[in-house]
Amino acid sequence: MTGIINVSRRDFLKTTATIGGGLILGCSLSLGPAEGAAAEGSAGPATLNAFVRIGTDDIVTIIVTHSEMGQGVYTSLPMLVAEELECDWNKIVAEAAPVDPVYNHTQWGVQATGGSTSLTSEWERLRKLGASAREMLIAAAALDWKVDKKTCRAENGTVIHSGGKKLTYGQLAAKSANMEVPKEVRLKDPSEFKIIGKPVHRLDTPEKTNGKAVFGIDVNIPGMLVALVERPPVFGGKVVSFKADKAKAVPGVKDVVQVPSGVAVVATGFWPAKLGRDALEVTWDDGPNAKLSTEAMREQYAGLAKTPGMVARKEGTPQQALAGAAKTLTAEYEVPYLAQATMEPLNCVVDLRADSCEVWTGTQSQTADRDAAAQISGLKPEQVRLHTMLLGGGFGRRGNPQSDFVSQAVHVAKAAKSPVKVIWTREDDMKGGWYRPMWYDRIAAGVGENGNLVAWQHTIVGQSVAAGTASEPVFVRDGVDETSVQGARDIPYDIPNILVDLHTPKIGVPVQWWRSVGHSHTAFVVECFLDEVAHAAGKDPYEFRRKLLDKQPRHKAVLELVAEKADWGKPLLEGRGRGIALHKSFDSFVAYVAEVSVSASGEVRVERVVCAVDCGRVVNPNGIEAQMEGGIAFGLTAALYGAITLKDGRVQQTNFGNYPLLELREMPKVEVHTVPSTEAPTGTGEPGVPPIAPAVANAIFSATGKRIRRLPIRAEDVKKT
């Protein structure tokens, strides 16, 4: 994160004609002779970084600066441009942006996708771009017709004169490139929106149903070899020596090379590379993590949780209030390491030459990955071209703080002296670290005589995902990583005495972003424990929450909506339970009511989930619904199955057999309800995940009287006794 780059709009928006005679509206940050409208056939398009290209064929290409990993930005972001551009939605093509500062996230100062921020990053910028292009097209038409601009309007990819004359954007594209970029544009009043807020079909669905969508793993370049890397079985391990004879004897194996992350077997294809790697003999120095075990860590964490940590929030006099409360409750909660387990295993294609390096990969972190490739190849960043391919899932893993999968591929290409695609097998991916941290929480509450919640003390133990990375200065303040306490420090309920503190043990397991980051664990702890408190206070868990939310109208509104839609309070069938949970993350508010049935043997089935979401102004209702469904499934996988464990320094999970994902037959019926809002839109990629585990755990309590205080949910914790 290099800070925010501010560029005034006048310097920012530029225009040029394409070689084919279309319009490119884009931006240039290089204040050199390349500025301004370039002459036709010049290097204009190369120096001008396009955001919108309008071709003479009427095709409107929108360059998307955020990575498409399923969350729908190749549709939602073009919608913002199209709303103001008044173009024909059927003529829109979304294209991944190359790496350049002009494509930086508007708040982060680097090109990256995460934190459910794509819409908030682009809400203003893309609408202004669309409006500017529209004004230039209108100006070009007015000039052509020798009429006043005010008598012309733009509609569905054409400019229409009040007298009835019409020209398509394609016909106007070349001429509009000579128009001045408007200094100011008026953005539509939301009441005028034609696209924003409407259920728009994703632009990328057809290619994702006919095999044509190109993910990173699908890239094929001339002369490319395929490599698999044997990495140390223990995090931080090192190669002592290796014998490559048997690997090299496998037909198709071309080379065996050592790289910083391990030993790469380079072959004509995946299968010979795999057979070669199977035959490779490596002697490892396991290093300091050789004895690491999650069992031992759990004991360490449980001990730490009983001691005061770094204070993240303190209000009132929590200790005294607890001591003086009519009733106190204490509980310990724990959740394991989790793998992102994207369906597309990690991979990266690199073509390294003397004076250039080309990288094709699905990444959430373009600037950092490009810079890493430059550093390893000894080139300047501008000599590296990174192509962002479709991501077969990201969930945080493809925004690695050390650019691990890109760095590794550049190293392999360098050592093998060949264009190369490095593919991670599922096992490599699963055992490869960079997990959601394991967490252990100890939490206490005090309830007054009247059943009011008077004190809350929450101690969190777990690794920091930001410590030691480039984002440490952004997230870590006074020893507290914001991402460790998010969702706990900002607990929305009105409690007079609060203490939230944090222990950040240093453990040799690499950790990083995992869809919803810290919220994935804090929502579970806070929302389950609040349910315990409500029960102890003899209150209905919905009413108990609602009464504590008088100062939080948006929280309260989603909670009320979900309760209404889920028929909260209505009797359920025997053996069923209903649970409620509410959580705000990434500025979006989500509440769930889950209905579960529990078998005698303790098997949990989630039957139905009712969702209420407030993500500000709705951009694409289809997208929101899909993200809520997806967040529920992703969160249910964690609630029911997810656990990465270590023994003797080795990760014990290898593939979907021992790290199962939710299956179709287990998918509950999901109903999504949106709270109407005029606030600026916020993201939905992550906010759907956090509240599902607590909603289900609370439903299990209502069905069985058993409290779930650790994930994944185990039959032994559920079984009625």
Partner 1 sequence: MTERKDAEAFPKLKLNVNHTEYTVAVQPDTPLLWVIRENLGLTGTKFGCGMSICGSCIVHVEGEAVRSCVTPVSEVVGKRITTIEGLSADGNHPVQKAWIEDEVPQCGYCHSGQIMGAAALLAQNPTPTDADIDDAMSDILCRCGTYQRIRRAVHRASQIMAEGGQKK
Residues lying near partner 1 in the complex (CB under 8 A) are found at: 68-72, 201-202, 204-215, 217-218, 220, 226, 245-246, 248-249, 251-252, 268-272, 341-345, 390-395, 423, 425-426, 622, 626, 629-634, 636-637, 655-657, 661-667, 669-670
Q: Cα 146 to the chain's mean position, in Å?
A: 50
Nearer to partner 1, 636 or 713 (CB): 636
601 burial type by CB count under 10 A (0-12 exposed, 13-18 middle, 19+ buried): exposed
**Among 697, 574, 714, CA closest to 643:** 714
Nearer to partner 1, 234 or 341 (CB): 341
Tokens standing for 421? 């695609």
Contact between 228 and 423 under an 8 Å Cβ cutoff? The reply is yes
Q: Cα 361 to the chain's mean position, in Å?
A: 16
Largest CA distance in the chain: 86
Tokens standing for 68? 């498409």
Contact between 480 and 310 under an 8 Å Cβ cutoff? The reply is yes
Least separation in angstroms between CB 88 and partner 1: 19
Nearer to partner 1, 332 or 666 (CB): 666
Nearer to partner 1, 309 or 690 (CB): 690
Least separation in angstroms between CB 14 and partner 1: 34
Contact between 491 and 528 under an 8 Å Cβ cutoff? The reply is no
What is the rounded CA–CA span in Å between residue 620 and residue 193?
12
Strands 646-647 and 158-161: unpaired
Least separation in angstroms between CB 714 and partner 1: 22
Least separation in angstroms between CB 201 and partner 1: 6
Distances (CA, A) of 151 to 69, 168, 553: 43, 16, 45
What is the rounded CA–CA span in Å between residue 273 and residue 416?
13
Least separation in angstroms between CB 458 and partner 1: 29
Least separation in angstroms between CB 641 and partner 1: 12
Least separation in angstroms between CB 70 and partner 1: 3
Q: Cα 674 to the chain's mean position, in Å?
A: 21
Nearer to partner 1, 593 or 636 (CB): 636
Least separation in angstroms between CB 67 and partner 1: 10
SS3 state at 583: strand
Least separation in angstroms between CB 392 and partner 1: 3
Using alpha carbons only, give the angle 240, 423, 282 rounded to the nearest 5 degrees: 15
Contact between 700 and 572 under an 8 Å Cβ cutoff? The reply is no
Nearer to partner 1, 226 or 502 (CB): 226
Nearer to partner 1, 67 or 702 (CB): 67
Nearer to partner 1, 246 or 650 (CB): 246
Tokens standing for 326? 């009519």
Nearer to partner 1, 109 or 660 (CB): 660
Nearer to partner 1, 69 or 372 (CB): 69
Using alpha carbons only, give the angle 584, 434, 220 rounded to the nearest 5 degrees: 110
Least separation in angstroms between CB 515 and partner 1: 10
Contact residues for 208 (Cβ-Cβ < 8 A; gap 6+) = none
Contact between 113 and 73 under an 8 Å Cβ cutoff? The reply is yes
Phi, psi of 304, deg, nearest 5? -60, -35
